Amino acid sequence: MSLINNILDISKMEAGRMRLQLKTVSLAGVAGRAIDILEQLARAKNITMRLAAVEDFAAEADGDMLERVFSNLIGNAIKYTPQNGTITVSIVDEGAHLKCGVEDTGEGIPADYLTRIFEKFEQVQGRRIGGTGLGLTIARFFVQAHLGRIWVESEMGRGSRFYFTIPKRLTLTPEGAARAPEAVL
């Protein structure tokens, strides 16, 4: 079912038919829901997950989309983190933006994949862990729909750190696309 939903979401994104549903959301709450959903998978590998957010930051955002971003990033971290590892989800205030991170103690990603890991169906060769290669593409689209950016930093043998930023405040165009409040006439 997840594969079908991912393919449908990709089709909607490419056709420009996916619209944001903005409301004030707690990013710690959104991240916490994603952690709760994936807790059993982490527990099966004795992985410690923690949420590091000094405050309960709020943003004008589509909470469902951001929950999928967190779920996709945390799900990947669980897949690639060995037994007894650690995953840390963080949220930091950077003025007009919030910076969210998912850091793991996994094997890391080879440098030649870092620039293309967010492309459709892209997966690191030689890994024996399943997946569709769509989760990071969906995460990238959802972050970009919020006028944010997403990237990864990784070193082999030292884990990976996925980050994304989103503005705290957005408004919608009549077509349902995000825009910064300064662009409102």
> pTM value?
0.87
CATH architecture entry for 2-170: 2-Layer Sandwich (3.30)
Q: Which of 68-72, 90-94, 110-114, 148-152 shows the lowest mean pLDDT across its residues?
A: 110-114
Q: What is the mean pLDDT of residues 54-81?
A: 92
Given a cut of 70, whether residue 129 has pLDDT beyond it is no
Q: Tell me: pLDDT of 139 over 80.
A: yes
- pLDDT tens sequence across 9-49: 666 666 666 678 899 999 999 999 999 999 999 999 999 99
Q: What is the CA 115 to chain-centroid distance, rounded?
A: 16
| Cα dihedral: 169, 51, 82, 66 (round 10) | -30
Tokens coding 3: 């594969």
> Cα(23)–Cα(59) distance, rounded to whole angstroms?
8
Distance CA 99, CA 76 (A): 19
Instruction: Report d(CA 176, CA 174) in Å as an integer.
Output: 5
